[in-house]
Amino acid sequence: MMLLLFLWQTLRIAAPYLLAAAGGVVAERAGVVSLTLESFLLSGAFGAVAASHWGQSAWIGVLGGLGAGLFFGALHALATVRFKADQIVSGVALNLLAVGLTRFLLQMGFDSSSNSPRVPGFEGLGHPLLWLGLLIMPVLAWTLAHTRYGLRLRAVGEHPQAAESLGISVAKVRWVAVLASGGLAGLGGAFLSLDQHQFTDQMSAGRGFIALAAVISGRWQPMRAGVACLLFAAAETLQIQLQAAAAIPTQFLAMIPYALTLIAVAGVVGRSRPPAALGRA
């Protein structure tokens, strides 16, 4: 029973990581840095709650989360692909924008600086995005390895000039990738807020960065990144359960997932090789 509970909680924590990390893999393999995952998650979480509130339906909430993620994805693509802005600067700017914008809209729409009212969401295993999260990495792995678009995406991320010389539109491939990244991570955000039936200020709480760490420690490969997400989620679950059980200070325990992220990125993957064209316009 303990074990089942542990597994269940791990999955629940892992779902937004998996969706966001999937988005990260897609964008980064196409050569676009994914610091923006945090903004996709946060805007997705807010979009989902706003839409669910407006439509009084959790499914409409899913669409809202998707839409918000796509919108932020489009901003990132516009800045970096169309106008060739620095991908890191654009990422940081969008993360700040997402915090400010959701806070502003929270105040405007729900007259609160901390949280939205309770909206229709999903319960436990009935959360469709949980299952999407579990399926996304295998689907993505297959897509990258076995479809035309996947091949082109990998080529664009490694050697855009080569792709361009063969008549492939690098801009188009990257637009699709960044939009997909926004949509997937937006759904990750929707999972978060629909799971809790409400939006709270800054509820993404750095999960976008942890997802990015999973992408990197998974060496930009979907299945490995998925495993990394599950590991991070398991660590977090352990931390929560230890809080209840042991006498270790909670502040210390709360640090575990982040410390683990740091160790994973710095240590385990010291020698992994990112897509060659990552970060280059």
Partner 1 sequence: MTTLAIQMTGIDKRFAAVQANRGASLEVAKGEIHALMGENGAGKSTLVKILAGLQPPDAGQFFVDGREVTGWTTPQALTAGVAMVHQHFMLVPTLTVAENVVLGREPTHGLRLDRQAAVQAVRDLCQSSGLQVDPNRLVADLSVGEAQRVEILKVLYRGAQVLLLDEPTAVLSPPEVAELWGVLRRLQQGGATIVLISHKLDEVMAISQRVTVMRQGQTVQVLDTAQTTAAELARAMVGRDVDLDVQRPENQAGKPLLRVTQLQVQGSRGQPALLGLDLTIHAGEILGIAGVEGNGQSELLDALAGLRPYQGSIKLADQELATLSLSQRTQAGLAHVPEDRHQRALILDYSVADNLILGKLAEFSRRGVLDQRAIAAHAAELIAEYDIRPTDPQVPVRGLSGGNQQKVVLARELSRSFKVLLAAQPTRGVDVGAIEFIHARLRQARAQGKGVLLVSSELREILTLSDRIAVLYRGRIVAMLPRAQASESVLGAYMTGAAQAVTHG
Using CB under 8 A as the criterion, which residues of the chain lie in contact with partner 1 when the complex forms?
A: 146-148, 150-152, 154-155, 158-159, 161-168, 276
Query: For partner 1, which is the closer residue by CB, 205 or 223?
Result: 223
Spell out the residues 6+ positions from residue 16 whose beta carbon is closer than 8 angstroms to its own: 41, 133, 188, 189, 191, 192, 207, 211
Is there a contact between 69 and 76 (Cβ–Cβ < 8 Å)?
no
CB of 219 vs partner 1, minimal distance in Å: 12
Instruction: Report which residue type is found at 77.
Output: A
Spell out the residues 6+ positions from residue 75 whose beta carbon is closer than 8 angstroms to its own: 94, 97
CB of 225 vs partner 1, minimal distance in Å: 17
CB of 87 vs partner 1, minimal distance in Å: 19
The sign one gets for the Cα dihedral 269, 273, 275, 277 is: positive
CB of 158 vs partner 1, minimal distance in Å: 5
Query: For partner 1, which is the closer residue by CB, 16 or 222?
Result: 222
CB of 157 vs partner 1, minimal distance in Å: 9
Query: For partner 1, which is the closer residue by CB, 56 or 147?
Result: 147
Query: For partner 1, which is the closer residue by CB, 127 or 152?
Result: 152
If you ran DSSP here, which 8-state letter would residue 273 be given?
-
Query: For partner 1, which is the closer residue by CB, 56 or 161?
Result: 161
Integer Cα distance of 163 and 175 in angstroms: 15
Integer Cα distance of 222 and 5 in angstroms: 26
